[in-house]
Every structure is written in C-alpha cells, then in structure tokens.
A and B are shown apart, each in its own frame.
Chain A
C-alpha cells in the first residue's frame, strides 16, 4: 500500500520536474542556425573545393603526379619559339600551352597533397563546399582557359612545327 502511494507521488513529482525542464528549454535561444541564410564560420585551414589559377599555371604536372586518386588530368603542348606566353606572378617563364586541366571532384579526396608541390602556388583550396550536382559528369571541372578551337590550333601548330623540324632534320641528314 505504501509503495502504491509512493508510486503515485513520484510519478506526479517527476512529471512536474520534467515539465519544468522542458519549459525552461522553451525559452532558451535555439542552438541551430538558419543554414542557407546563416553559415557557421569555417576553420582556418579547412580543405574544400580546389581552384586553379591558370594565369600562374606552368603546366608542370606536379599536382597530377602528387594526387593519390588521380583526379587531376593535365595535357600540355610545347609552345613555338616565337610565341610569348607571359610570366607567372613569381617570375617563372611559361613554356607550355595547357590544353587540358581537369579535376574530377567526384574522385577528389580533399587531401591537399596537390597544393604543396606547385612551384607557382596556383592550385589551392577555397572555402566553397556547396557544389552538389545531379550528374556525376558535372563534377569534372575544366580549368584550362583556352577555347576548344584554340586547343586544337595549338596542338596542330606544334604538330606542323615538329613535322617541319623532322623534314629539316631529314634534309640535313641527307645532305651530309
């Protein structure tokens, strides 16, 4: 009998204690944020989407070789002797046309290993982390600045140039 009334008493008391707790939480400010409108500050060394500054890229392929998952693909074509490709911001002379520079972010593991070997510091991590896509192919980002025609042209130029060189070499070989 004692236990019976004790049960009733504890049940009532604990309900009121619980209600007090929830009532207090009703008036505490919420801990969540309104995500797309408000964003939490990212940590200082966060690693998110890569960006390549093509003005500085010399096409050295070091980032592609450092990549553990092979998500970076680079193709380059030598420039012709007369062409001037300009200089990078830290004074290196560019000698290659970059005809292909793609990063597949579906493969990328955000390890930042590509960032360190870059001699011109042109590949780096940005703070963009919202880039979901419906099609996986849309995650292959092309950073090369040349238009497709230009790329074709550069490749063609180099092929002609090397052919001519071959011919000349063959000529000189014959004459000897």
Chain B
C-alpha cells in the first residue's frame, strides 16, 4: 500500500498520511475533471453533429483550463439574504463527501488510500454527505428554485440509494467481503472471472448467476446514474424548469467546487461499478508485466485498466445524457419504487439462493 511505502520512506506517519490523502485529488480528480468536462462537451457536440469547443488549443483541448482560469478570476457573489454560514459550508461539504469516497477506491493494487474492511459500506455512507451539502446549498441560497432543486435531489438520492444498496448487498452476500481491495483481488486474471460473468469459481452456479448479475448490473447502473443527478435523472438541476437547481446562486470557485464534486461523483460511482462487477483494477487479458517479467509495470497497467473502465462508464453516462430526455418527478419515483427496488430485491433473493446451492 502507498501509505506503508511512504511511511517507510519518510519515517513520519503524518507526512505519509497527508500525501496519501492528497494524492487522489491532485493525481486523479483534478486531471480527471479537466478531462471529463472537455469529454462531455466534445461528446455532446459530436452527438448533435457539432464540433464542440474548437478555439483554445488544438481542437479545444485547453478549453477547460481556460474555464478554470475564468472561474478563479470571478467575483464570489453572496446575496444579502443568504444564510452566509451554510452558503459557504455547502460546496465544501458536497465536495468533501464525494472526495471522501475516493479514500477507499482501489486504483491499483498499490494505489489505495485506505484498505478498509468495510470499503463499499464506507463509500455508500460517506456519499450521503453530498445530500446534506446539496440541501444546505438549496436552503442557504434563499431562492425558491434552489430549494426545490435541493429537495428533489434529496428525495431522488435517498430513493435511489435503496436499489443501489440492494445490488451491492447481493454481491457482498456472494463474496462475503465488503473490502473493495479484496473484491478486486478475487476477480484476478481474465475477464471471465468478473462478477458480471458469475465470479471466479468455475462451477454450475457461475452460469446460473450470469443473468442475475447482468440484471443487478443494469439496476445499479441506473440507480447510481440517478444518485449523481445526471440526465435522464437530472430533475434537481433541470435547466429548463429550475434554472440550475441548487447551484443557481453560486458563482466563481464555489460553483467550481459543485462542478468538481459532480464529476468526481461520476467517476466514483463508475469506480464502484467497476470494482464490484468488472474486476476492479484487474486486466481482462492478463498483464504485460507478467509476460515480460517486469514487476513494476503491473501496478501501472492496473491503474490504466481501472481508469479506462471507469472513464468508459463515465462516457456511457454522457452518452445517455444526450440520448434520453429528463424524467418527470412522478416517473422518477415510479422508476425507483415500482421497478428498480422490487426487481433488485428479488434479484438479491435469487442470488442468495444460488449462492447457498
């Protein structure tokens, strides 16, 4: 683990801890957000037969850098009747919630903030902070639309957490571990060992599990999509009805923090999906490092595969955004309570029965 390595290197737990804590932010989230915002705009452009940003740098690759510079320069506007304390805490809390999830996400077998035994449980619990941040932002803005957006967001995240947890539970039940590191390790080597394809044990159960794992995967994909407030579940932001929901009143860097939290969340849920169902950081075709006998290459390959899979699912989220229109509030609730939750529940029961066979 990276913490132990740094602890040995520097001899100080404090320095090692600080570096380990900051590493995901600077080594991953910031570059990822820069990349993802550009990817989003490019994907949006090309799906609508446009080109997207083209001015800054070659084919607009520096567009997000320019945007960040613009956001830093912007005035930080706080309206007179805002609740100043909550207004200032909200973006930090929202970002902290989504950033804390990265502590337990295994990027590779050595790049893992903290190997917590309750990894997935911790992530689900800590992302609940995002709801508090969003509600705070909506309330403190003293704006009808912001509050409506925040309330919708809270309702949505809470109702969609249930199918997410039920699917996570079915995987946890099958494997008997909540640690994302152990989950990733158990799906080692080739892609037929992924839990999406029934897990690593080659028995009759594996083939019985495949359809239910696919159903579970679809459910968790849909419900995590709703949890990060992306289209078709973006009614908390809903540009055309609520201006932009809970971050209407924010400007400058505080707005940027919400934005960063959104993109960090997009990757975090994709990472959970990847770790649970798609082998985590494991390569689907074996390692080049094993083939060439270069040991230090393996963690790099693992990091590549993890980010590749994660960014692929982020791309699918964007793809869905430009495909599907926004749901109505009642449709949103119906989709969760009438469809996803019962199916996830039966799926959980069936996977449970298969696993004790």
Contact = CB atoms under 8 A, between A and B. Distances in A.
20 contacts: A8-B339, A8-B343, A12-B218, A15-B320, A15-B323, A21-B323, A23-B319, A25-B46, A25-B47, A26-B46, A26-B319, A27-B46, A28-B49, A29-B49, A30-B49, A30-B50, A30-B51, A31-B49, A31-B50, A34-B54
A32 interface: yes
Contact of B323 (A7, A22, A27, A31): A22
A22 B47 contact: yes
Task: Report the interface size class on chain A.
Answer: 10 to 19
Interface of A: 7-8, 12, 15, 18-19, 21-23, 25-32, 34
A28 B50 CA distance: 10
A7 B50 CA distance: 34
Nearest to B325: A18
Interface in B244-270: none
A42 B313 CA distance: 44
Contacts of A7: 339
Interface of B: 43, 45-51, 54, 218, 319-320, 322-324, 339, 343
A18 B324 contact: yes
Contacts of B320: 15, 19
Contacts of B51: 30, 32, 34
A23 B315 CA distance: 11
Contacts of A15: 320, 323-324
Nearest to A12: B218
A22 B54 contact: no
Contacts of B46: 25-27, 30
Given A8-B339, A26-B43, A34-B54, A19 B323 contact: yes
B330 to A, nearest CB: 14
**Nearest 5 A/B pairs, CB to CB:** A18-B323, A22-B323, A31-B49, A30-B51, A22-B47
A22 B45 contact: no
A21 B54 CA distance: 24
Nearest to A27: B46
Contacts of A34: 51, 54
A7 B324 CA distance: 16
A175 B44 CA distance: 93
Contacts of B323: 15, 18-19, 21-22
A56 B339 CA distance: 80
Nearest to B218: A12
Contacts of B54: 34
A32 B319 contact: no
Given A8-B339, A15-B324, A34-B54, A22 B319 contact: yes
Given A25-B47, A26-B46, 16 more contacts: A7-B339, A8-B343, A19-B320, A21-B323, A22-B47, A22-B322, A22-B323, A23-B319, A26-B43, A26-B47, A26-B319, A27-B46, A28-B49, A30-B51, A32-B50, A34-B54
Given A18-B324, A19-B320, A25 B339 contact: no
A43 to B, nearest CB: 24
A3 to B, nearest CB: 12
A19 B315 CA distance: 12
A40 B349 CA distance: 62
Contacts of A28: 49
B354 to A, nearest CB: 22
Nearest to B320: A19
Contacts of B319: 19, 22-23, 26
A25 B47 CA distance: 5
A16 B218 CA distance: 12
